[in-house]
A and B are shown apart, each in its own frame.
Chain A
Amino acid sequence: MNRFLKILFIVLIVRPLVLIILGLNIRGREKLPLTGPAVIAANHNSHLDTMVLFSLYPLSAVHKLRPVAASDYFMRNSVIAWFSQNVIGIIPIGRTGKANKDEIFSGCHEALDNDDIIIVFPEGTRGEPEQISKLKKGIFYLVKDRTDTQIVPLVTHGLGRALPRGEALLVPFNCDVAVGESLPTVNTSSELLALLNDSYSSLLKDCLTYKKIK
C-alpha cells in the first residue's frame, strides 16, 4: 500500500464525500481502536461502509486500516486490483472455501502482527439494503489463537439508502455510525456470533435513521 496515495484519496475524495455529500451521526466514537492489533467487525450494506470508516480516523493512522475484501471481486481486473491494493490497502481473501484456514488468513495475521487494524465484514457480502444477513464464522477462526487482538463491533446505517448494491446513482443521506464495546473472549464460533449479533441489534437502536426504511 502506498501511504501517500491513501492519504490523498482520503483528503480529496473520501472526506468530502462522507462528511459533506453524506453526513454522519456518530455514537461511541471514543471506542474506536486507534492502535492495532485490532479487528473492527462491521455490518455491510454498501461500498461506502469502508469509506465511512476511513473518514473516522486521523490521517496519521489511516495507513493502519486494512479492509479484508473478497479477491474474486476486488482483484477482478488489473486496474481495480491495483487501486484496491495500493490505495485502499485491502487484504485480499478467497471466498471459495477451498483453501485451508491458515492459508486464507495468512494476510490477516501478517497485518495484525504489524499492529494494523483490520476491517472485517462478517456478513461476507453487502446483501439487501439495511438488513443484516447471517454472520459467517470466519471471524472466530481469525482471532481464535490470538490473545492480543480484540474485536470491536461497529454498525453503520443508512448507507444502503445512499448507495445500495447494484445502483450507480449516489443520493445524499445522513448515515449513522455506532461503535460498541469490544467483545469478550469466547470459546466457540456460535458464542462469538451470538455476541456480535446482540451487539449489532443494540447498536442499531442508537441510530437516528434506524427503522425508517420500508
Chain B
Amino acid sequence: MDIPQNAFIAMLVVLTVLVIATIIQFLLKLKNPENDYHELYQRIMSWWWIIGLLFLFLAISTNAAIIFFAFLSFLALKEFISIVETRQTDRNAVFWLYLSIPLQYYWVASGWYGMFIIFIPVYIFLLIPVRMVLKGETEGFIKSAGVLHWSAMLTIFSISHVAYLLVLPEKNTLAGGVGLVLFLLFMTQFNDVSQYVWGKLFGKHKIIPKVSPNKTWQGFLGGMFTITLLASIVAPHLTPLSQIEGMVAGILISISGFFGDVVISSVKRDLNIKDSGNLIPGHGGILDRMDSLIYTAPIFFHYIYSLYY
C-alpha cells in the first residue's frame, strides 16, 4: 500500500530512534565490558522485531496489517487464557473465543462498524454461557463465564480497535489510517517510557503501592505532561486532530495507558506471576507489552470517532 507522506516520515523517525538506541547499547557494552547488558540487548533486539514486523505488514496492505493485529489478538488471548484459571469443561467455549477472532477482524476489514462494535460485547457475551450450558457443568459456571468474556474484551475487542483505525475514511490525507495507528502506538509506548523515567528521577508518592510499587504520582504526572506536549505537536501531522484536540488525546492516552498497565499488573499479582509469558525476550509475554494499549486503543479510537467520523 502507499504509505502517506507523514506516516512514512514517522516511521523513519521511529527507526532512527531505534538505530540510536542500538548504537548507545553497543557503546555502553564497549565502554563497560564488565557490566551485563544482556537484558538491554534482548529488549532492543525484540523492539527491532516488533517494529520491523509492524512496519512490514503496514507497508504490504491494509488487509495484511489487519491480519497482523488479528494474530496479536490470538497470541494475547492464548496467553491470557493460559495463565488464568479455567475448567477442563471450558475448552469448547475457549475454542469458540478463538473462532471469534477471524470474525471480529473480518468486520474490521469490511468496515462494518455496527457489527464490529457490538459483536464481542453483545453476541459473544451471550454466546459463551450458551456454549458452557450445552456442556452442562454448573460448578464454577459464574466465574468461568466472567473470565472468558473479560478475556475476549481485553484481547480481541480492545486490540481490534487499533486495526479499525486503518479502515476509517481518510480525514488527514497526508497521514491516513497508518498515521492514526502510528500515533496511538507511539504515544502509548512513549507514555510508558516517560512515566518510568519521570518516576525513576523524581518518584516519591506511590499511587497504588499494593499493585505496583513503582508507580508514583511524579512519574504519572511527568509522563502525562510529556505526552500531552508531544501529542499536541505530533497530532496535527498524523491525525485529523488540531493542536488543542491533540493535547486532549495526549491526556486521555496517558491516563488510560496508566490504567491498562496497572490492571494487567493486578491480574499478574493475583496469579502470583511476574510475567505473563516469555514470548518476547527481555520483555516477557505479549500481554506485558500490550497492557497499556488494551486501554488506550478503545479510548483514543472513540475520542477521534466522536469528533471526526
The yes or no answer to A212 lying at the interface (CB within 8 A) is: yes
Docked-complex contact A208 and B88, CB < 8 angstroms: no
Q: Given the complex of chains A and B, what is the CA–CA distance between A141 and B200 in angstroms? A: 58
Size band of the B side of the interface? Answer: 20 to 34
Q: A171-B91, A171-B94, A172-B98 are in contact. Are A25 and B86 (CB under 8 A)?
A: no
The yes or no answer to B78 lying at the interface (CB within 8 A) is: yes
Tell me whether chain B's interface is mostly helix, strand or loop, or mixed.
helix
Chain B residue with Cβ nearest A27: B278
Interface pairs A-B: 3 shortest CB-CB = A174-B82, A212-B85, A171-B91
The yes or no answer to B84 lying at the interface (CB within 8 A) is: yes
Q: Given the complex of chains A and B, what is the CA–CA distance between A171 and B271 in angstroms? A: 22
Tell me whether chain A's interface is mostly helix, strand or loop, or mixed.
loop
The yes or no answer to B83 lying at the interface (CB within 8 A) is: yes
Residue numbers in B under 8 Å from A209 (CB-CB)? 82-83
17 A-B residue pairs with CB within 8 Å: A23-B78, A23-B79, A23-B82, A25-B277, A158-B82, A161-B86, A161-B88, A167-B91, A169-B92, A171-B92, A171-B98, A173-B78, A173-B94, A174-B78, A208-B275, A208-B277, A213-B85
Q: How distant is B29 from chain A, measured CB to nearest CB, in Å?
A: 22
Residue numbers in A under 8 Å from B74 (CB-CB)? 172
Chain A residue with Cβ nearest B97: A171
Chain B residue with Cβ nearest A169: B95
Docked-complex contact B78 and A172, CB < 8 angstroms: yes
Residue numbers in A under 8 Å from B276 (CB-CB)? 208
Partner pick for A213 among B86, B271, B273, B277, CB 8 A cutoff: B86
Q: Given the complex of chains A and B, what is the CA–CA distance between A164 and B79 in angstroms? A: 19
Supply 14 further A-B pairs (C-beta < 8 A) apart from A172-B74, A172-B78: A23-B75, A25-B277, A26-B278, A161-B86, A171-B91, A171-B92, A171-B98, A173-B78, A173-B82, A174-B277, A175-B82, A208-B82, A212-B84, A212-B85
